[in-house]
Amino acid sequence: MATYCLTVARLQLALGHGIRRLHVSALQSNVNTVLLEKLNRPLTLSEKIVYGHLDSPADQEIVRGRTYLRLRPDRVAMQDATAQMAMLQFISSGLPKVAVPSTIHCDHLIEAQVGGAQDLQKAKEVNQEVYNFLASSGAKYGVGFWKPGSGIIHQIILENYAYPGVMLIGTDSHTPNGGGLGGICIGVGGADAVDVMAGIPWELKCPKVIGVKLTGTLSGWTSPKDIILKVAGILTVKGGTGAIVEYHGPGVDSISCTGMATICNMGAEIGATTSVFPYNHRMRTYLEKTGRADIAALAEEYKELLVPDTGCEYDQLIEINLNELKPHINGPFTPDLAHPVSSIGSVAEKNGWPLDVKVGLIGSCTNSSYEDMGRAASLAKQALDKGLKCKAKFTITPGSEQIRATIERDGYSKIFNDVGGVVLANACGPCIGQWDRRDVKKGEKNTIVTSFNRNFTARNDANPATHAFVTSPEIVTALAIAGTLKFNPETDYLTAPNGEKFKLQPPTGDELPARGFDPGQDTYQHPPSDGTGLRVDVNPQSNRLQLLEPFDKWNGRDLEDLQVLIKVKGKCTTDHISAAGPWLKFRGHLDNISNNLLIGAVNVENDAVNKIRNQLTGEFGGVPDVAREYKRNGVSWVVVGDENYGEGSSREHAALEPRHLGGRAIIVKSFARIHETNLKKQGLLPLTFADPADYEKIRPDDKISITGLKTFVPGKPLQAILKHSDGSKETIELNHTFNETQIEWFQAGSALNRMKELQK
């Protein structure tokens, strides 16, 4: 058995955009005897990396799926929408500087409207106050700042900060993208990031490990995206919860480094803690091509430590033969509804889904690499050579300034423009709802196909009637050219303007640019060595930024007569709890963004959205309006929900908002991992029905008392007394996953309150 411990070194690497400080773990082959004695078994790759970052191995109990680990991540990354609240919380902590290398990435606030340059300029004007806050707070507290136009956080991390063996946390659910370079990169809420930036050990429930063994070789129309689309169909949106997905087997070597990143990125859609690939020559080449030959050499020296041990065991094993894997397309409305591309047309006809493809969109953090762009461009070029342009609208989102500059230099951008496409800004754009879409009216039933990761109802364009399908950039491009879901590029023919019938040949594209990357514009601001003299101003009259006030502490008593605010029916993602799109501009202002609380959730009482009964007046109103009315009248409340509550984004606003507006507990059948932790961090009680059937016992007008809090300890259920309006009562049992530290967060009112208590 091989394992390793990590010693931290700092390298300065001269990259194309200037000098950036990277936090690099020097991997050492000496065996950690403490872990050897504890485990005495072969380790998976993810175990090597995770356990190699333990704060105190000698004191740590390690049981997959049960114990909590105290870890020391190497780095923190934050995108601009979540960085606002994370930095506001860090400012509230009173600490002078971050304890680990950290960066802010401006990618979420740029709305797609016309094209890259115009949209970027408008974003800089509209969001100037927020960008100034992030840049100045980064400078003051030692955080690097990637300016708007730099690119999408996960692509920037892959190009600059990820490396084999790193443990990185990011305030975005698709942080696992870095697993494509052999790192353990985990999405978290802002409060978790504050812990790490403050130098406090970070807690994570010891993950189970799901193994995905790949055999065979990718070829033809099949792409890396098809692997994760297939896995999503197998595991569903919650099948990976509490686990790391670890890919291995001979098929790995047929996947590019950025292709591996695509697979890891979309692992968020199965609820996985993260995903990771073993080190191989594709990673070495990528590191070298992105200016990190020193790290590649170090990884080569210790490569036997960057793969799973022979004989290691997985909690679940999935096997996929890449020789047999066919192109997939998943959706609509959920990323785990998997279909082979060959059958989607007939399935759509059967289900009444619109067949005409209105828009094809490629890019996003999931699929915006040089290889992705090249393979899509090869198809567009074939169509152009026959005199065809796209029948559907077609948009292209480069993942970074480096990708944008390189595809422009190498002619891909011209091909996209010539085929009828529009190259958007280097940002998230339509993937997260930042899309000023005008080709259909809201409520108009239509189909779009994307190479994004999520396709929840109304996510991309705020239209609940849009049927969004997720697939590879290659398939998106082919369907945009054909204009219909009924087109199978493996077998079907297109018709040229001269009447000639022709088939698209399978896509081709270089894994990496032969002439190297063009770095484009320098978009990075390194923090000064000493920022103590700098000021970070927040205007009290601002509607975009608001300094935080601490939440109230637990009063030492059971929670009595909590009003049910809403009993949610069916799927309730973080998009339903705290919508994105136009609401992104309020991510730094807790009170203003709380006006979107649960406006997308379906009320079981009337099957309506954002229409609940105010139990004080008997009248119906919007969810946030009723919550505010309850708060003004001193009425605390509870939300009741279904399975996998909080699925999707890492946005902690979905936990901050209910806490701010008077919520005390969220009671559901099951939680998504990140959201459950976010709720705990803000002093709320995330609780699950011991018997899921008890969901049916709760009525929308119930009052609920939660008892047992005076003896609140790990592993001991709480009780809920349901008081019905007819005078009857029922008692049910509620489970929780709190450990001792997390109970202290609840008692203090929040994790941030507890941090400040410990500083005294």
Residues assigned a catalytic role: 107-108, 172, 454, 649, 651
* Residues paired with 423 in a beta bridge: 396
Question: Do 104 and 131 touch, CB atoms closer than 8 A?
Answer: no
Say how many CA atoms lie within 13 Å of 682 toward its Cβ.
Answer: 31
The three-state secondary structure class of 674 is helix
At residue 226, what is the residue type? D
* Residues paired with 506 in a beta bridge: none
Using the structure block, give the residue that is written with the tokens 């507990």.
Answer: 665
Q: Taking the CA atoms of 245, 246, 252 and 253 in sequence, report the sign of the dihedral they define.
A: positive
Convert 39-99 into a string of H (helix), E (strand) and C (coil): HCCCCCHHHHHHHCCECCHHHCCCCCCCCEEEECCCEEEEEHHHHHHHHHHHHHHCCCCCC
Radius of gyration of the chain from Cα atoms? 25
Q: Distance between CA 74 and CA 467 in Å, rounded?
A: 40
**Measured CA angle at 526 (ends 523, 529), to 5 deg:** 170
Token duo for residue 155: 């692509």
At residue 383, what is the residue type? A
Nearest to 90 by CA among 150, 134, 123, 155: 134
Nearest to 277 by CA among 182, 208, 141: 182
Token duo for residue 201: 């050990």
Distance of alpha carbon 744 from the chain centroid:
27
The three-state secondary structure class of 170 is strand
- The set of long-range contacts for 120-127, using a CB threshold of 8 Å and a minimum separation of 24, is 120/148, 120/149, 120/425, 120/426, 120/427, 123/148, 123/425, 123/427, 124/148, 126/585, 127/585
Using the structure block, give the residue that is written with the tokens 């609920």.
Answer: 704
Q: Distance between CA 76 and CA 188 in Å, rounded?
A: 10
Using the structure block, give the residue that is written with the tokens 């114990």.
Answer: 67
Q: Distance between CA 45 and CA 310 in Å, rounded?
A: 10
The single-letter DSSP state of residue 554 is P
Token duo for residue 358: 């209105």
Token duo for residue 554: 């637990």
Q: Distance between CA 745 and CA 360 in Å, rounded?
A: 45
Question: Do 1 and 47 touch, CB atoms closer than 8 A?
Answer: no
